């Protein structure tokens, strides 16, 4: 049976890196997923409408603009058939507080079977953000990042209550990327 999985993690935790590794491993076994970046769907619409110039500006848009972009992305992604993996955020840190990445209408469109949180220690995430000059990353404090990761666990529980999906945590620690890739691949098999 086709599976719908949502993979999340605070910016810079390395979720895209872990997803790429896990999907390459599964591909060798003949297991295929459509790999969909929710942020890319949102960004293409936001760019076409002149709302942003780069993807890091999206979290600064008004709450209403972000919600409209979410709704349109979810509607488009929901049409994908077969095994689907959606690379997104459990919550987005905006200037007005955390915005749910998957509000009710997005969850209803996506109907996930599995929800994954990619996590690691806050000092490692800060180091990765500092080492990524290609992006305009928030330079959070250790405490702010801990609060974001803990909020993401809380909201994942709400998503599980709403949809009946399971929730799993994958640790992507420094020097242990292979282990994270193994763990995610095992969840997706």
Which window, 84-92, 107-115, 143-151, 159-167, contacts ligand AP5 (CB under 6 A)? Answer: 84-92
Closest approach, Cβ 135 to ligand AP5, in A, equals 6
Q: Break the chain down into helix, strand, coil percent, rounded to 5.
A: 50, 15, 30
Residues within window 28-47 making contact with ligand AP5, judged by CB under 6 A:
37-39, 42
Burial bucket for residue 78 (CB in 10 Å: 0-12, 13-18, 19+): middle
Q: Tell me if 66 contacts ligand AP5 by CB under 6 A.
A: yes
Q: Tell me if 149 contacts ligand AP5 by CB under 6 A.
A: no
In 32-117, alpha helices (H): 38-48, 63-77, 104-110
Q: Tell me if 49 contacts ligand AP5 by CB under 6 A.
A: no
Radius of gyration for the chain, computed over Cα atoms and rounded to the nearest angstrom: 16
Q: Is the dihedral of CA 66, 67, 72, 78 positive or negative?
A: positive
Structure tokens at 74: 């979810």
Among 87, 122, 140, 183, binds ligand AP5 (CB under 6 A): 87
Q: Tell me if 155 contacts ligand AP5 by CB under 6 A.
A: no
Which window, 107-115, 141-149, 151-159, 172-180, contacts ligand AP5 (CB under 6 A)? Answer: 172-180
With a CB cutoff of 8 Å and minimum separation 6, the contacts of 50 are none
Among 4, 5, 25, 70, binds ligand AP5 (CB under 6 A): 70
The residue assigned the tokens 């049409």 is 79
Q: Tell me if 159 contacts ligand AP5 by CB under 6 A.
A: no
Q: Which residues contribute to the site for ligand AP5 (CB under 6 A)? A: 9, 11-17, 37-39, 42, 55, 58-59, 66, 70, 87-89, 92, 101-102, 128, 131-132, 172, 174, 177
């Amino acid at each position: 049976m086709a599976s719908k999985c949502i993979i999340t993690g605070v910016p810079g935790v390395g979720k895209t890196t872990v997803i790429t590794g896990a999907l390459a491993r599964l591909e060798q076994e003949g297991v295929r997923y459509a790999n969909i970046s929710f942020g890319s769907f949102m960004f293409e619409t936001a760019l076409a409408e002149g709302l942003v110039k780069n993807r890091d500006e999206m979290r600064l848009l008004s709450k209403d603009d972000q919600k409209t972009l979410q709704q349109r992305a979810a509607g488009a992604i929901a049409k994908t058939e077969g095994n689907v993996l959606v690379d997104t955020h459990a919550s987005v840190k905006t200037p007005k507080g955390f915005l749910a990445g998957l509000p009710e209408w997005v969850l209803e469109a996506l109907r996930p079977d599995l929800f994954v949180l990619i996590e690691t220690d806050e000092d490692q995430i800060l180091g990765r953000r500092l080492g990524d000059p290609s992006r305009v990353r928030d330079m959070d404090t250790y405490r702010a990042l801990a609060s974001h990761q803990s909020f993401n666990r809380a909201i994942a529980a709400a998503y599980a209550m709403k949809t009946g999906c399971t929730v799993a945590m994958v640790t992507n620690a420094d020097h242990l990327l292979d282990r994270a890739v193994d763990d995610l691949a095992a969840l997706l098999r």
